[in-house]
A and B are shown apart, each in its own frame.
Chain A
Amino acid sequence: MQRRRFLGLVGAAGVSLAASGKAKAASKEFSGYPGSHAVLFDATRCIGCRKCEAGCQKVNDLPMPEKPFDDLSVLDQKRRTHAENFTVVNKYDVGQQAPVFRKFQCNHCLEPACASACFVKAFKKQPTGAVTYDASVCVGCRYCMVACPFEVPTYEYNEVLTPRVRKCHMCHERQLEGKLPGCVEACPKEALTFGTRDEILKVARARIRNYPGRYLDHVYGEKEMGGTSWLYLSGVPFKKIGMREDLGTTSAPHLTTGALAAVPMVVGLWPVVLGGIWAVNKRKEKIAAEEQKAAVNSAVSETQEKAQQEMADALAKAEASTQRRIDNEVKKAVDEALKAKEEEAQSQAEDGKTDEEGA
Chain B
Amino acid sequence: MSTEAHTAGSKSVFNTFNIVAGVIILVGLGITVLRFTGGLGAVTNLDDNNPWGIWIGFDLLCGVALAAGGYTTSAACYIFGLKRYHAAVRPAILTAFLGYALVVFALHYDVGRPWRLPYPIFVQQGTTSLLFEVGLCVFLYLTVLFLEFLPVPFEWLKKTKIRNFLVKITLALTIMGVVLSTLHQSSLGALFTIVPSKVHPLWYSPYLPVFFFVSSIAAGLSMVIFEGTLSHKFMHHAMDEEYLKHHDTVVFGFARGCSFVLFGYFMIKLIGVAYGDAWHYLSTGYGALFLVEMLGFVALPCFLYAVGARDKNAKLIKWTAAWTVLGIVFNRFNVSIIAFNYQLPSAERYFPSWMEIAISIFIVTLGVVVFRFISKRMPVFREHPMYKAEH
Contacts and interface: CB of A to CB of B under 8 A. Distances in A.
Given A140-B112, A248-B196, A255-B194, A158 B39 contact: yes
B194 A117 contact: yes
B49 A149 contact: no
A117 B112 contact: no
Interface in A285-329: 285
B190 A142 contact: no
A282 B81 contact: yes
A209 interface: no
Nearest to A148: B195
Interface residues of A, number: 70
Tell me what chain B mostly uses at the interface: helix, strand, loop, or mixed. Answer: helix
A260 interface: yes
Given A10-B210, A12-B182, A137-B116, A121 B124 contact: yes
B210 A118 contact: no
Contacts of B193: 9, 255-256, 258-259
Contacts of A247: 197
A149 to B, nearest CB: 4
B111 A141 contact: yes
Given A120-B124, A281-B81, A139 B39 contact: no
A9 B209 contact: yes
A263 B133 contact: yes
A6 interface: yes
B179 interface: yes
Contacts of B130: 117, 256, 259-260
B112 A274 contact: no
B196 A118 contact: no
A162 B132 CA distance: 22
Interface string B186-208: 11001111111110000000111
B182 A13 contact: yes
A4 interface: yes
A137 B210 CA distance: 31
B36 A278 contact: no
Interface string B35-54: 01111111010111101100
Contacts of A284: 81
Interface string A248-286: 100011011011101100110011001101100110110
Interface in A16-40: none
A252 B134 CA distance: 18
A154 to B, nearest CB: 4
A262 B189 CA distance: 13
B129 A116 contact: yes
Contacts of B44: 157
B198 A120 contact: no
B209 A160 contact: no
A244 B42 contact: no
Most chain B beta-carbon contacts within 10 A, residue among A158, A162, A244, A256: A256
A69 interface: no
Interface of A: 4, 6-7, 9-10, 12-14, 80-83, 113, 115-122, 137-143, 145-147, 149, 151, 153-164, 244, 246-248, 252-253, 255-256, 258-260, 262-263, 266-267, 270-271, 274-275, 277-278, 281-282, 284-285
Interface of B: 36-42, 44, 46-49, 51-52, 75, 78-81, 110-113, 116-117, 119-120, 123-126, 128-135, 171, 175, 178-179, 182-183, 186-187, 190-198, 206-210, 213-214, 276, 343
The 10 A-B residue pairs with the shortest CB-CB distance, nearest first, are A140-B112, A281-B81, A157-B41, A259-B190, A145-B51, A142-B51, A12-B186, A119-B132, A163-B112, A12-B209
